[in-house]
A and B are shown apart, each in its own frame.
Chain A
Amino acid sequence: MKKYWHVINIGIQNSLTYRFNFLARALFGLVPLIAMLYVWQKIYAGKGAGTSVGSYSLAGMISYYLLITVVDALTAVNEDDWLIAADIKDGNISQLLLKPIDYLWYRLCLYLSGRLTYLAVAFIPLALFFACFRSYLEPPADGVALAAFLLSTALTALLQFFMSYAMAMLAFWVLEVSTFIFILYAFEYIASGHLFPLDILPRGLEQALYFTPFPYQLYFPVSVYIGKAAGMDLLRGLLVQASWVIAAYGAARFAWRRGIKHYSAVGG
């Protein structure tokens, strides 16, 4: 176990080298968010006072986006998939295969340390931003919702990571994986609730999305926080989310095993 702490430690030091990159990412990332809030404000203003979109009042909509930002900052995979693919393509995994560590756990540690560093660097700009909108921030529905939110956010992080990892395994077979990563990312972007809350979609479409892993990558923990998923829905949601995590983990392990048989250590 101890060796993985070292990995996390090294990972933090490595990502700190790129702290300005992280800061730029956090600051630029706020721009589309602010733009989105402006657009919603205009839409609500056009509809007249006291109206709602789906079940969201203007305040509810704003707090939805704020929560999405929090969960995203906690769980987003930003470069891990590229780095894993590059490790495979350039033959860097050869030397890692010789070490008594498991590549998947090794990468998970690096992902976690990347997230920790990102949070440390982005904390000040994010905190300032949230301070401006503090009136819209509401506490979670109740204690159970809070606990479930934390659990579900952790599951989200694992799901995000395992899916990216499994995707990056494609690098064993194709030279250029970025196109595949971008295609997956496009679906994640719209179907995970990043752009808009999924329950403002037509009912049938929303239901269909629940058969994909995407809502569990971002939307689900937020819906738990604001109390949209409670009681049996909450329990079922958590179970489905956990199943997706296990499935993604299985896919990641399977792809790795197949890939390593195929691997020819280019450049190693």
Chain B
Amino acid sequence: MKPTSPNPQPERSGVGTRPPPPASPSFSRLFRPALRYCGVYAALWKNSVAREMSFKANFLLWILVELLWFAMQLCFIGVLYLHTEHIGTWTQWQVVLLIGASHFVQQIFQAFFLINCTNLSELVRNGKLDFLLLLPVNTRFVVSLRQVDLGAFVNAASAIAVMIYAARQLQLAPSAGQIAGFLALCAAGVMIHYSLMFLLASISFWTVRAQGIVWGYYNLFNVARLPDEAFGGLFKALFTFALPMLLVSNVPVRLLADKLSSPGPVLLLLGMSAVCFAVSELGWRFSMRRYTSASS
């Protein structure tokens, strides 16, 4: 377990305590909260950097672990393609691109959200959520973004390197629009991972040991890195419309590799990410009503 500061108080930076400037009230009403949250988030970042840097060897080792697992997945694809030319219409380098993209999405999710989602059950169990509830910011905001996993950015960079290599092998020359679209769809994928994981973590308000459930979500990442064409029937429906793992990285890669025949999947991914976020917000509000502080 990485140690956490017992009483995070990054909000004492002074932003938000000044009275609003009298000049243009509409301007300030619009931007002041946003600015305030930016200030809060910057303070959270500073905390995380300080925390990570106090365990340097561990920080490097975790990067190594992730690199190793990434390499193992690529090896696995290498082995599969020793025995076949294509899975559905997916060729070897397209699947490598897919693995890279799914690793990229997963690492960005990990950078911003994962530790915070897994910590939620701990916060409920020992009652530390009390402190966060008392802070004058949106509780979901601070619960979701409290810690930043800096190593994950390094791993996301390794995923980008693999994607560039695969794109060269495929002789792809994506336009700026395609790359922007790809990134936007990746962001939608990150939102899906975050919303679903946060929803699962909210179950910890019912059973205190929800880590097993959160851990179980890790298995779903395995589905996200496989080509969608392999699947059919109920499995495909489940992982497209209920837990949209088959959209998260497949759709961005299809956009990048010119494998989209219609804009349908893109719209579906964007729609599903909005739905997932809305459902997780509802679930969060519903769960919060059950919170009865553990220790005090």
Contacts and interface: CB of A to CB of B under 8 A. Distances in A.
Contacts of A31: 219-220, 222-223
From A41, A182, A200, A201, residue with most partner B Cβ within 10 Å: A182
Interface stretch (B63-71, B122-130, B159-167, B276-284): B63-71
Contacts of B64: 179, 183
Contacts of A179: 58, 61-62, 64-65
A20 B212 contact: yes
Chain A, interface residues (CB within 8 Å), range: 35 or more
Contacts of B215: 25, 28
A91 to B, nearest CB: 16
Max chain A Cβ within 10 angstroms of own Cβ: one of B80, B229, B232: B80
Give the interface centre of A25, A39, A195 by most chain B CB atoms within 10 Å.
A39
B75 interface: yes
Residue among B82, B216, B222 facing the most chain A CB atoms (10 A cut-off)? B216
B61 A38 contact: no
B207 interface: yes
A156 B235 CA distance: 32
Given A34-B235, A39-B226, A27 B207 contact: no
A43 B80 contact: yes
A35 B236 CA distance: 10
B209 interface: yes
A202 interface: yes
A196 B79 contact: yes
A47 to B, nearest CB: 6
Interface residues of B, number: 39
Contact of B88 (A42, A189, A196): A42
A35 B229 contact: no
Given A31-B222, A186-B72, A200-B79, A42 B65 contact: no
A43 B72 CA distance: 20
Interface in B192-236: 207, 209, 211-213, 215-217, 219-220, 222-223, 226-227, 229-232, 235
A190 B217 CA distance: 20
A267 interface: no
Contact of A200 (B65, B83, B87, B231): B83
A22 B215 CA distance: 11
A21 interface: yes
A182 B65 contact: yes
B240 to A, nearest CB: 13
A186 B65 contact: yes
B232 A38 contact: yes
A124 interface: no
A127 B238 CA distance: 22
Nearest to B233: A38
A35 B72 contact: no
Contacts, number: 99
A29 interface: yes
B32 interface: no
Contact of B76 (A27, A35, A54, A196): A196
A32 interface: yes
A47 B68 contact: no
A189 B72 contact: yes
Nearest to B83: A53
Given A35-B223, A179-B62, A186-B65, A201 B79 contact: yes
Contact of A20 (B85, B88, B207, B220): B207
A24 interface: yes
Contacts of A50: none
A22 B227 CA distance: 29
Given A39-B230, A46-B86, A190 B72 contact: yes
A200 B65 CA distance: 26
A1 to B, nearest CB: 33
A18 interface: yes
B223 A32 contact: yes
Contacts of B72: 186, 189-190
A233 interface: no
A128 to B, nearest CB: 14
B230 A38 contact: yes
Contacts of B209: 18, 20-21
24 contacts: A20-B207, A20-B212, A21-B211, A21-B212, A24-B212, A25-B216, A28-B219, A31-B219, A31-B220, A31-B222, A32-B223, A35-B226, A35-B235, A38-B232, A39-B226, A42-B87, A42-B229, A176-B55, A179-B65, A186-B68, A186-B69, A196-B79, A200-B83, A201-B79
Interface of A: 18, 20-22, 24-25, 27-29, 31-32, 34-35, 38-39, 41-43, 46-47, 53-54, 176, 179-180, 182-183, 186, 189-190, 195-196, 200-202
Interface of B: 55, 58, 61-62, 64-65, 68-69, 72, 75-76, 79-80, 82-88, 207, 209, 211-213, 215-217, 219-220, 222-223, 226-227, 229-232, 235
